[in-house]
Amino acid sequence: MTYKATKITIVSEKLIQSGITRIVEDEGAAGYTVIEGGGKGQHGVRSTDRPKVVGAFGIVKIEVVVADRGVADAIADKVAASYFENYAGIVYLEEVEVLRPKKF
Amino acid sequence: MDLVLDFIQTFAAQFQKPTLAFLLGGMLVAALGSKLDVPDAIYRFIVFMLLMRIGINGGMEIRQADLGAILLPAVFAVVIGCVIVLLGRYTLALLPRIKTEDGIATAGLFGAVSASTLAAAMVLMEEDGIVYEAWVPALYPFMDIPALVLAIVLANLYLQRKGGKSDERVRVWPIIAESLRGSALSALLLGLALGLLTKPDRVFEEFYDPLFRGLLSVLMLIMGMEAYARLAELRRVAHWFAVYAVAAPLAHGLLAFALGFVAHVTVGFSPGGVILLAVMAASSSDISGPPTLRAAIPTANPSSYIGASTSIGTPIAIAVGIPLYMALGDIVFGP
């Protein structure tokens, strides 16, 4: 049996990871997952295979799954308002199905 | 005429040294599109080793050093760090087509110090038998932190004035704490403490000191590759950044050389110390500086200051600055 939930994905600079996860927790999400990576966007290429002299300039993908759509919207809005004027980043929301709804 | 010839000869001889050859080799390899790859973790480990070596050696020597002799060069280091930022603030940041906060951030990065440039200078000088007090490289934070703090304060003052807010004060202590906790300064300070308080002589002589030179050659290769990779970023920002990145390391180094000479005359600062102080001033931070600036001046474009520093500033400081100050030292102090 699965239940509906919302997944928020935030791709942004590793430098502001702690600020983003603080928002995620403050808004009441039960947890999150962080994956480091590379890619290409408006702010240029962020390579995963080149020596990164400045490690803090890599990017991270932060995934959060919440049961309440309102919480998801609040997280997305707050992250965008706090950081995306000056830092690189995108946010998207998806409807997902989860097992064990108590975990979210 | 002899003087000029001598100068050119000393200068040219530096290019055959492995340190510079590895830097240029790294650039060449990157330019040819090679897949050669040095993992990030190795880069960070090398930087840790270099700073640990500098710290331990400095700490061991401070034990016996006359603190009065350290004081004046340390004060000069602070002064140089601040003067560099002010110079940049009132030249680069005022130029047309340059966003003021980009200019200030760039000046801050050039005022801060690069551990790799410093280490390269130490090896090149040791090859030439130029001696210096072992605590001189440990003056690094005295120039690094004031420069970053001043740049961040100036940028915030400017942004507040532009935004019409004037009640918010820039908090200086968090910036200092952040710098001290950065990977570079943590390693240096830990090394200093170990050298000062414990007896690490054996581990220093058998591990840190012998590995220093070999690891530096790998670091130079990485710096060369990174410098080339960052050139593309610099092309997208105003050309004045490139002009600044060529001229600033040389101007800053000469200024520090002059102040170092004053310390040489007054408190007997060694000629090698004067050269190292000039190298510190010429260098621009590549590890701890950029993230600190990015976090504290978020509106400044990192492509401008990192591009200026990593792709032009650092290679110029290493390949032109170090040989220049060594040749100058030869002339001023005699070989």
Q: Model confidence over A40-79: pLDDT tens digits?
A: 877 766 655 444 555 567 789 999 999 999 999 999 999 9
Q: Which residue is closest to B184 within chain A, CA to CA?
A: A54
Which value does ipTM take for this structure? 0.71
Question: What is the pLDDT at residue B92?
Answer: 92
Give chain B positions within 8 Å (CB) of A87.
Answer: 298
- Hey, of A54, A82, A83, which one would you mutate to test binding to chain B, going by the most B CBs within 10 A of its CB? A54
Tokens of B158: 């400017």
Which one, of B4, B5, B21, B27, lies nearest residue B224 by Cα? Answer: B27
The pLDDT of residue A49 is 47
> Could you say which architecture CATH assigns to the domain A3-103?
2-Layer Sandwich (3.30)
Residue-wise pLDDT for A2-52, tens only, equals 999 999 999 998 889 999 999 999 999 999 999 988 888 777 666 554 445
CATH number of B2-333: 1.20.1530
The pLDDT of residue B167? 57
**Amino acid (one-letter) located at A103:** K
Cα–Cα dist A5/A101, whole Å:
8
Q: How far apart are the first and last CA of chain B?
A: 17
Inter-residue contact B218 to B40 (CB < 8 Å): no
pLDDT at residue number B6? 73
Token pair 């350290």: residue: B70
Residues of chain A contacting residue B222, judged by C-beta atoms under 8 Å apart: 51, 53
Q: Which of A16, A53, A86 sits opposite B299 (nearest CB)?
A: A86
- CB contact under 8 Å between B40 and A55, yes or no, is yes
Which pTM value belongs to this model? 0.86
- Print pLDDT tens along chain B (335 aa): 677 787 777 777 777 788 889 999 999 999 998 888 888 788 889 989 999 999 999 999 988 888 888 999 999 999 999 999 999 999 999 998 899 999 999 999 999 999 999 999 999 999 889 999 999 999 999 999 999 999 999 998 898 888 766 556 777 888 888 888 888 889 999 999 999 999 999 999 999 999 998 999 999 999 898 888 888 777 777 789 999 999 999 999 999 999 999 999 999 999 999 999 999 999 999 878 888 888 888 888 888 898 899 889 999 999 999 999 998 998 898 86
**Residue B128, Cβ neighbours under 10 Å: how many?**
18
